[in-house]
Amino acid sequence: MIKKGLIIFAILIGLATLYAYMTQYPMIPIGAGYAAKKMCTCHFVAGMSQEQIQEEDLTSIPGTTSVIDEEAKTVTSTVYGMGSRTAVYRKNIGCVLLQGEDDYQVHLDLPEVEKNMTAEWPLGESVVNHSMEGVDYAALDQAIDAIFDPSLDMDSMKTRAVVVVYKDTLIAEKYANGVDENTELLGWSMNKSIVGTLVGIMVKDGKMSLEDDHLFEEWTDERQNIRLVDLLHMHSGLAFNEDYGALSDVNKMLFLSEDMVKDVIQYPLETAIGTKWSYSSGTTNLIAGLIKKEFTTQKEYLAFPHERLFRKIGMHSMVLETDESGNYIGSSYGYATARDWAKFGLLYLNVGNWFGDQIIDTSWVDFVRQATKQSGGLYGGQFWHNQDHVAYEDVPSDLFSCNGFEGQYVFIIPSKDLVVVRLGLSKDIDRNAFLRDIIRATSGNETNQSAS
């Protein structure tokens, strides 16, 4: 009887193991791809050690093992020894996650830029500690300290960097252990706002229009009626599953696709165009594909963000990564220092003007500052919003922001002349209280009751 029971138990264990294998194995190449790409960029772009990346950035993917080849500049990762995936580092485009053999050999050569080390930030790299009238620096420090773990490690709140810019002046910054003002940090979906800005430049050049339709030749059905503005507002009606915890559209796109634009073009309509807001990384990568169509060569396309945006505003650390075929992964993969992310916010705080150079038209800034009604006041033009205080009750309703997975934020608050950057590995912070307290610390005798 005991022997029979053991046999039944062994069978049940075997069936459970087989079930777990069959259901979870499809996720293993995705987890290994995530690990390879994260390890590669954090190491070769941000300069972090393998130990730090493994202990801080890859805790959500158990069982990962990575091998770094310093000479070939590659990282190969597995999950419990399975699903081997490789990412390769390339100067100016970061790390490319390969789907088998490297069929495209994408490279980008850019002329070197000599940074101005003497001019004061944001026009140069020198940061001067000003004492600005009306700023309560003790209260400001307290507000910033409140979202860092006391150990300055990645324990609970997992904040890595905060930068506060008030009236075009960097008035406060703080960093966790293992990172500093020179560390390039991943923006995740903050890059959607970068892509939106590149569209704004194209619109300024007369090469694109919000009302453009018939966007892809593959769309011969009702999808030909999708306009560029529908994509920017995330109410195109296209099917796309943004669930990061499953074998979803977004995971297959980011970690199993050789050509993300080509793959996402195939998705059908799920709802009527313009009727439902549905947040979609696939949509932003389609927009990146539309930008690519405006160039005759891949080199021109890849150089465009650097020549027309990053170098114009001094975001010299910015690295936008591509898929294997050379499409910018505009939905997710871009790295920059916290100070450079703040420069991007400052461009919008100053209505698209970078100290005399109108990078994007004021009309474009007006467009992205308006939330689409389908989002309930939360989203529009590849930026997040606070219309009617829908996101932050104690923060002015004119706030708009770049938001990214794991709590990446560039907050722009025009009525308070503020840009606030927070980068980290968790969104489990009280953003409302954080912003409220920074506003109070920089508003002199004002109170937050005056928030519009």
* Three-class HEC string of 310-321: HCCCCCCCCEEC
Round to whole Å and give the CA distance between 251 and 332. Answer: 11
Band (pLDDT 50/70/90 cuts) for residue 18 is very low
Lowest average pLDDT, out of 8-12, 116-120, 370-374, goes to: 8-12
181 touches 337 (CB < 8 A): yes
Band (pLDDT 50/70/90 cuts) for residue 447 is very low
Instruction: Tell me the average pLDDT of the chain.
Output: 93
Q: Please give the average per-residue pLDDT across 393-421, as a whole number.
A: 98
CA atoms within 13 A on the CB side of 143: 25
Round to whole Å and give the CA distance between 223 and 343. Answer: 37
Round to whole Å and give the CA distance between 276 and 187. Answer: 26
* Gyration radius of the chain over CA positions: 23
Band (pLDDT 50/70/90 cuts) for residue 221 is very high
Encode pLDDT of 95-115 as tens digits. 999 999 999 999 999 999 988
232 touches 210 (CB < 8 A): yes
Q: Please give the average per-residue pLDDT across 374-400, as a whole number.
A: 98
End-to-end alpha carbon distance in the chain: 76
For 402, the token pair is 């770049």
Q: Put the strands of the sheet holding 74-79 in their side by side order.
A: 64-69, 74-79, 82-90, 94-97
pLDDT of residue 23: 41
354 touches 182 (CB < 8 A): no
- CA angle (46, 50, 51) in 5-degree steps: 120
Band (pLDDT 50/70/90 cuts) for residue 389 is very high
pLDDT of residue 7: 60
Q: Is the pLDDT of residue 73 over 70?
A: yes
Q: Please give the average per-residue pLDDT across 44-62, as a whole number.
A: 97
Q: Please give the average per-residue pLDDT across 180-208, as a whole number.
A: 98
Q: Please give the average per-residue pLDDT across 212-220, as a whole number.
A: 98
Encode pLDDT of 236-271 as tens digits. 999 999 998 889 999 999 999 999 999 999 999 999
Which residue matches tokens 């772009």?
Answer: 45
Q: What percent of the chain has pLDDT over 90?
A: 89
345 touches 399 (CB < 8 A): no
Q: Please give the average per-residue pLDDT across 283-307, as a whole number.
A: 98
From residue 194, alpha-carbon distances to 187, 287, 398 in Å are 10, 11, 20
pLDDT of residue 152: 97
pLDDT of residue 207: 98
343 touches 313 (CB < 8 A): yes
Round to whole Å and give the CA distance between 119 and 246. Answer: 48
Round to whole Å and give the CA distance between 91 and 45. Answer: 9
pLDDT of residue 26: 82
Q: What is the pTM of this model?
A: 0.93
**Peptide bond between residue 122 and the one before it cis (omega within 30 degrees of 0):** yes
Q: Is the pLDDT of residue 15 over 80?
A: no
Band (pLDDT 50/70/90 cuts) for residue 11 is low
16's CB contacts (< 8 A; 6+ apart) are: none
